[in-house]
Amino acid sequence: MKPPTNALLIIDIQNDFCPGGALAVAGGDAIVPGVNALMQDFPTVVLTQDWHPADHSSFASQHPGAQPFSTTRMPYGTQVLWPDHCVQNSNGAAFHPGLRTQDAHLVLRKGFRRGLDSYSAFFENDRKTATGLAGYLRERGATELTLAGLATDFCVAWSALDAVRLGFAVTLRADLCRAIDLDGSLAAALEQLRAAGVDLQG
């Protein structure tokens, strides 16, 4: 077991991000056994869960004529328009059935505000609205975070970069992540992570 200063942050291993889901990440389900094994090593384990209302503004279906994976301008900046996914209380929003959710100490739901998307586990996409996770981790005594989950180039990367910005030491288990890789987004994310001092492992 790692010391109490360590916490594991597992990002969005949900049905819609796994093969067969509405926004499937190739091989997304393949990381589940490794993530389950990793949970046993950490004194604090947090799961994040994308949790969108059915009319969420990041859905292409809410923008007449827009195609999924196109972009639009939101008050907080450029937003990718996604296929409808992780709708609250749907099977797609549920965690992958193989994930050992019973080993988590906290489940953090994000993206539940209709007009504001949320990639990071720490802030909504306006970069100002905090989720409260940083305070929770600090109360638990965590100073070092290890991240795994989906998808490397969006929610995992944004969470890792915010964690560094908030003063945590961050390790990313790249072998326990999978990427969407939208127009080179994976290479760009990895470059940002390295530049920020994230320890990329696996």
Whole-number Å distance between alpha carbons of 171 and 85: 28
Burial class of residue 74 (count of CB atoms within 10 Å of its CB; 0-12, 13-18, 19+): middle
Taking alpha carbons only, the member of 142, 144, 148, 143 closest to residue 177 is 148
Of the residues 12, 16, 29, 50, which is catalytic?
Answer: 12
**Which value, in Å, is the radius of gyration of the alpha carbons in the chain?**
16
Taking alpha carbons only, the member of 180, 17, 178, 9 closest to residue 95 is 17
How many Cβ atoms from other residues are within 10 Å of residue 3's Cβ? 11
Of the residues 16, 29, 50, 110, which is catalytic?
Answer: 110
How many CA atoms within 13 Å lie on the side-chain side of 139? 6
The verdict on whether 18 is a catalytic residue reads no
The verdict on whether 12 is a catalytic residue reads yes
The verdict on whether 128 is a catalytic residue reads no
Of the residues 18, 86, 155, 177, which is catalytic?
Answer: 155
Residues known to be catalytic: 12, 110, 155
